[in-house]
Chains A and B, each alone.
Chain A
Amino acid sequence: MHPAVLGIVTIVIGVSACLTYFWGSNLLLDKVIFPPRGPNAGRNINRANLIRPWLFLFPALFALTMYLVYPVVETFRLSVTDRDAGNAFVGAANYTQMLAEPKFWEAMRNNMLWLIVVPAMSTAFGLLVAQLTDRLSWGNIAKSLIFMPMAISFVGASVIWKLVYDARPAGTDQIGVLNALYIWFGGTEPNTWLTIPFWNNFFLMIVLVWIQTGFAMVILSAALRGIPEETVEAAIVDGANPFQIFFKIKVPQIMGTILVVWTTITITVLKVFDIVFAMTNGQWETQVLANYMYDKMFRANDWGVGSASAMVIMLLVTPILIWNVRNARKEMR
């Protein structure tokens, strides 16, 4: 079948199946199983109301369980078994094998660098732009332009930045702006920036900072707007200069939001895959965990070690997960 037809048919079937399910199951509950009439009308209504939430929730819960909860468990199981040995239990063998690989440690080191640099830079730039554009007449246009990279795919961003980092042989005109500037400022040999070990990590991080700054800016900008005017006015009356107002009055008041932005970007960083995959594919010492995992699972076909590295990512996310859940529960009360 032609994919477009398949797509349309799926939308129609999916949507109508969903609607039929919700409508039909409610109807069944109200009209057949517990009809709100006859001698037991009251009891029936109560019973129907006990069941109804689960009718509404069932498809979502089912999908969540199948697509997120079960995989976590299954990945853990795979990480302690060996596929080649008929899925036999091997204990921590996959983990020890992984820990013995220099590539893994390279990925860990780089991931830690990413975790420090990207959230810090994105949040800082986001805060800077949010503050600078706050009272600007054309602030909204500026913000929307800086926000724009959010819509661009990681792969698209990789192409965009590869052009920036492009290098041509010495003596010819440079078409990558970084090398053009480098030569213009007196450099002699153009650099292939993405192949300089260690520093190339930062050239990759810039791409993500470029994307995530807009996100940080939007949220921090809203937080800045939410600061009560009186606190700022009081500081002005007391003779505070603009920098003091920003660092001593505004930043402390939006600390909670800064933390949320920071953790959200941290999670994005932990999952970063496309940028490294498209730009260097982990060569020249730029490996990161997500790409390492992809390498293990789909190139080396080593599900054990691949799952083990996926569990490492999960482990790194867990503190944020717990923190988020606790915050959410606090709000519920």
Chain B
Amino acid sequence: MDNIAGTKSGLSWAVNLSVVFLVFLWLFPTVGLLVSSFRTADQIASSGWWASLGTQELNNPAIRLSGEEVAEGDIFVVEGTLFPDSSPTVLAWGTSSRATKAFGPGDTAELSKGRTVTVDAEGNFRMTAEESQEGARLPRVFTTTSSPPEFTFENYQLMLFDDSNLEGMAKAFFNTLTVTIPATIIPILVAAFAAYALAWMDFPGRALLVALVVGLLVVPLQLALIPLLKLHLGIGIGKGYIGVWLAHTGFGLPLAIYLLRNYMVGLPRDIIENAKVDGATDFQIFTKIILPLSFPALASFAIFQFLWTWNDLLVAKVFLIDSTGSTTVMTNQIVELLGTRGGNWEILATAAFVSIAVPLAVFFAMQRYLVRGLLAGSVK
């Protein structure tokens, strides 16, 4: 359509703009979580993450004045700063929860019993009183402050490297890895042999077996939970890594066989027949010719299986995680955090991103194989 006179500029603008809009829409939620994971808890709670690059306006909780009382002539004075640990700018302040922005920086508020309070822009206050306030409760000050945007690695420090943090993700990260790697490698091996037999060996019932594999592709794994758990408990595997590896192997096999068979069928017949004429056995043909040639399909499935096992919650919950919870995986840990720390976005965002980071890296590095696998798996 590019070469038709007159239709190009307007339409192409519209197309570009709508794609920009769609990409923006699709990225916005994820970026939000990523940005949030680098913000401090205070800042997350007080402003939307999209405002994180601007100065942060904060409504601080009430601060009760405190300090050493000094007598100046006939009045008593308490001086100090409201923010000993940080240096925000005070935009407005007040002495009552009903009017938290009643005064600007530098104004003086008149309180009861002849007391006055002044707060300047840096957060220094000066309180004067006609009689000594020794032992009395000093007034509270509500402030609205602005501070420069602040980003921190502390959330990640807390969630990944702090051993004393029981909610940390380090252990779960490690457990997830332990589940994932064997659960990716073992089905590939088993499936590759079966796929070769289904693609290049002649035997009665081959078509039926292929149909069976296609049928099993869509069987919901929900059906398998109770019977297999019973089986695992019955034969003594119980809940644990071995059980979850076996389960992932079983559930991943149909797709693995299907993808690999479809790919192997497409390999040139000549190569295989020549090898046979030269006296190669099926086993040799498989290991020396088919397996190396099938690398793209093997990579596709490996990525699928990796993403699937890494991101899985249900299989791990049923076959792996026992009541002690020592083998919890990241997805499960996050769901638990959602329940207990619903509002603590600095924890949730960081935990989620720790678990998302690895699949995203794999995704961007090996996208080519993923796309190829998807196309082979569904369109064929």
Using a CB–CB distance below 8 Å, which chain A residues touch chain B? 3-4, 6-7, 10-11, 14-15, 18-19, 22-23, 26, 30, 49-50, 52-54, 56-57, 59-61, 63-64, 66-72, 74-75, 78, 125, 128-129, 132-133, 135-136, 139, 142, 144-156, 158-164, 166, 172-177, 180, 210, 213, 215, 218-219, 222-223, 232, 236, 242, 245, 257, 260-261, 264, 267, 270-271, 273-274, 277-278, 290, 293-294, 297-298, 303, 306-307, 310-311, 313-314, 317, 320-321, 324-325, 328-329, 331-332
A110 to chain B, nearest CB (A): 16
CA distance A189 to B184 in the complex (A): 49
B349 lies within 8 A of A321 (CB): no
Q: Which residues of B contact A161 (CB under 8 A)?
A: 29
Instruction: Give CA–CA (A242, B7) in the complex, Å.
Output: 9
B371 CB to closest chain A CB (Å) equals 5
Give chain A nearest CB distance to B58 CB in angstroms: 10
* B380: contacting residue among A15, A50, A317, A331, CB under 8 A: A331
Asked if residues B331 and A175 are in contact (CB atoms below 8 Å), the reply is no
Among B26, B174, B254, residue most surrounded by chain A Cβ atoms (within 10 Å): B26
User: A4-B174, A26-B281 are contacts. A317–B220 as well, Cβ < 8 Å?
Assistant: yes
Sample (30) of A-B pairs whose CB atoms are under 8 Å apart: A3-B178, A7-B181, A14-B186, A15-B185, A56-B194, A57-B194, A71-B224, A72-B224, A129-B19, A132-B19, A136-B16, A146-B22, A151-B356, A153-B331, A159-B334, A160-B29, A163-B345, A164-B29, A172-B59, A174-B48, A177-B48, A218-B375, A267-B220, A274-B313, A277-B313, A298-B318, A310-B223, A317-B219, A317-B220, A332-B207
User: A56-B193, A151-B356 are known contacts; what are 9 more A-B pairs with Cβ within 8 Å?
Assistant: A3-B174, A18-B186, A19-B189, A72-B224, A74-B227, A156-B331, A274-B331, A314-B223, A324-B215
Proximity string of chain B (158-201) to chain A, C-beta cutoff 8 Å, 1 when within and 0 when not: 00000000000000001101100110011001110110111001
Q: B300 interface residue, CB < 8 Å from A?
A: no
A293 touches which of B4, B23, B222, B345 (Cβ 8 Å): B222
A156-B215 contact, Cβ under 8 Å, with A57-B197, A63-B249, A68-B224: no
Query: What's the least CB distance linking A267 to chain B, in Å?
Result: 5
State whether A175 and B22 are in contact (beta carbons under 8 Å apart), knowing that A3-B175, A149-B30, A317-B218 are contacts in the complex. Answer: no
Secondary structure call for the A interface: helix
- Shortest Cβ distance from residue A136 to the other chain B in the assembled complex, whole angstroms: 6
Give complex CA distance A313, B310 in Å: 24
Contact, CB under 8 Å: B197 / A64: no
The residue in chain B whose Cβ has the minimal distance to the Cβ of A256 is: B379
Known: A10-B242, A163-B345. A148 touches B214 (CB 8 A): no
> Residues of A contacting B223 with CB < 8 Å?
71-72, 75, 310-311, 313-314
Please, which residue of chain A has its CB at the minimum distance from the CB of B356? A156
With a cutoff of 8 Å between Cβ atoms, the chain B residues found around residue A71 in the complex are 223-225, 227-228
Any chain A CB within 8 A of the CB of B323? Answer: no
Are A26 and B219 also in contact (CB < 8 A) when A152-B30, A264-B378 are?
Answer: no
Determine whether the beta carbon of B196 is less than 8 Å from that of A56. yes
Total A-B contacts with CB atoms under 8 angstroms apart: 333
A245 with B1: CB separation less than 8 A: yes
- Residues of chain B from 309 to 323 with CB closer than 8 A to chain A in the complex: 310-314, 317-318
A245 to B18, CA, bound (A): 19
Interface band, chain B = 35 or more
In the assembled complex, how far is the CB of residue A204 from the closest CB belonging to chain B, in whole angstroms?
A: 14
Contact pattern, B 352-365, Cβ under 8 Å of A = 1, otherwise 0: 10011001101110
Q: Are B314 and A273 in contact (CB-based, < 8 A)?
A: yes
Q: Do residues B251 and A61 form an inter-chain contact, with CB atoms below 8 A?
A: no
B211 within 8 A of A: yes
Smallest Cβ-Cβ distance to B27: which chain A residue: A145
Within 8 Å CB of A332, what residues of B? 207, 210
The CA of A100 and the CA of B250, in the complex, are separated in Å by: 35
B282 within 8 A of A: yes
CB of B289 within 8 Å of the partner chain: no
CA distance A180 to B327 in the complex (A): 39
Q: Considering residues A155, A158, A180, which has the most beta carbons from chain B within 10 angstroms of its beta carbon?
A: A155
Binds A, one of B39-47, B70-78, B81-89, B132-140: B39-47
> Which residues of chain B are within 8 angstroms of A331 by Cβ–Cβ distance?
380
